Amino acid sequence: MSILSGKGGHDLFVYGSLQEPQVVYVLLNRVPDHISAVLSGFHRFRLTGRVYPTILPDSTREVTGKVLKGITDDELKLLDEFEDVEYDRHTVEVVLKDTSEKLQVETYVWKNKDDLDLYGEWDFEEWKRHDKEDFVTATKKFVEGRKLPEAKTRIDTFKTFFNQDTDS
């Protein structure tokens, strides 16, 4: 029986901080089954002043990441809330690294294709070395804050935590 068989729910391709099991656990209180995959026809960008990446279509590039399997409807709503207004969820086709099997999955794509903050290539290993611990802490603050009547969005939580100045 394959790791991919017999599971209900949504399959989600993640390519940034959600590749990190600690971040996923903070959000979902579990780490779903996952498998390495490649998304062709997209580029993963850095974003000026932010510690997370985004992707946009680019026919000459590809993005490596993971497919999280069996995401429930409630978990998907929470992930949509976490990704906030900056991203749209799209259906894409990925190729699984281990088997070369093609799979239809959902992923988060940057809404603003003309964003002047897009640049370069985001690197997961560099993020783990430099930003992972703070990102996990900020994600915990987002999850804790959701329980409050005056809950902040992920964007506002991260701006406060990382002291990001968006007025410049």
Range of the domain at 44: 10-123
Asked if residue 47 belongs to a domain, the reply is yes
Question: What is residue 22's predicted lDDT score, i.e. its pLDDT?
Answer: 98
Asked if residue 3 belongs to a domain, the reply is no
Asked if residue 165 belongs to a domain, the reply is no
Asked if residue 162 belongs to a domain, the reply is no
Which residue ranges of the chain lie beneath pLDDT 50? Answer: 1-6, 164-168
Residue bearing tokens 């993020």 = 127
Asked if residue 110 belongs to a domain, the reply is yes
Asked if residue 64 belongs to a domain, the reply is yes
pLDDT digits (tens, 9 = 90+) for 118-144: 999 999 999 999 999 999 999 999 999
Question: What is residue 155's predicted lDDT score, i.e. its pLDDT?
Answer: 86
Asked if residue 70 belongs to a domain, the reply is yes
The answer to whether residue 106 is catalytic is no
The model carries a pTM of 0.89
Question: What is residue 32's predicted lDDT score, i.e. its pLDDT?
Answer: 97
Count the domains in the chain: 1
Asked if residue 85 belongs to a domain, the reply is yes
Q: Which of 83, 86, 125, 133 is catalytic?
A: 83
Find the CATH number of the domain harbouring 64: 3.10.490.10
